[in-house]
Amino acid sequence: MAETLEKFDCVSLADRQAVLCSGSNACPAQVRTKLSGIDGDLGVPFLLVDLEGASPVFAAHVSSYGVIPATLDKVAGSSRCHLAFFTGSQLERVNATEGSRYELSRLQGLRMEWNGTELRDPPLAYLSTSGVLTFDGVPARLAEYDQESLIERVLKELGQRCSFADSEEFFSSPGASSTVLNHELRAAGIWRRHQLAHEPASL
């Protein structure tokens, strides 16, 4: 990777921050959109890494456009996740797009490998300030649901406390519905705080 960055006159890995990306930041096209218009290096290297004891999961929050976004949390077993390497100016731009729903954090004690090689430097990650969506006390993994089936599961968990007959009714007006569903989700207790060891990170 170092040779490729040098070939294209990009900032070296030593001058970049490693960020585990569980949601839209794991999509190169989305990252390109976020970085459009900034000066300097626009290249962002990505690795698909193996995590032990953590996984991309769903946040305990429904967005105003009816989507439950992603976050990371402590989960038994292994998973795969994208690791992006941002320059300082790139990370500042990405950070500005996250808003108050996410906190940039430095993860601690996370085992991470790429192609059998352990990556020892603690990565950054954006963790949801709303916590983690859970079913039966277990975080809802990204790999197990699409958005429609996830909303259906949330409505099922809420049962008689739910204001919506089905997911079709929810998606018919997601803006107004999301506020109601967020309140009901938290009142029902189908969420928890992050259990990944972490500390706030500054740019």
pLDDT attached to residue 7: 67
Percentage of the chain modeled with pLDDT above 70: 99
- pLDDT tens for 49-104 read 999 999 999 999 999 999 999 999 999 999 999 999 999 999 999 999 998 999 99
User: Is 70 exceeded by the pLDDT of residue 11?
Assistant: yes
pLDDT reported for residue 41: 84
Is the separation of the CB atoms in 68 and 181 below 8 Å?
Answer: no
**pLDDT tens-digit readout, 120-152:** 999 999 999 999 999 999 999 999 999 999 999
Structure tokens at 194: 């992050």
pLDDT value at 12 more than 90? no
Instruction: Categorize the per-residue pLDDT at 172 as very low, low, confident or very high, splitting at 50, 70 and 90.
Output: very high
How, if at all, do strands 46-58 and 70-86 pair? antiparallel
- Give pLDDT, residue 149: 97
Mean pLDDT of 162-174: 92
Domains and CATH numbers, the chain: 2-200 (3.10.490.10)
Residue 9: pLDDT over 80: no
**Dist. CA 167–CA 144, nearest whole Å:** 17
pLDDT at position 55:
97
For residue 157, pLDDT over 90 is answered with: yes
Say if residue 45 is exposed, middle or buried (CB neighbours under 10 Å; 0-12, 13-18, 19+): middle
* Structure confidence by residue, pLDDT tens digits, 184-197: 999 999 999 999 99
Burial of 188 (0-12, 13-18, 19+ CB in 10 A): middle
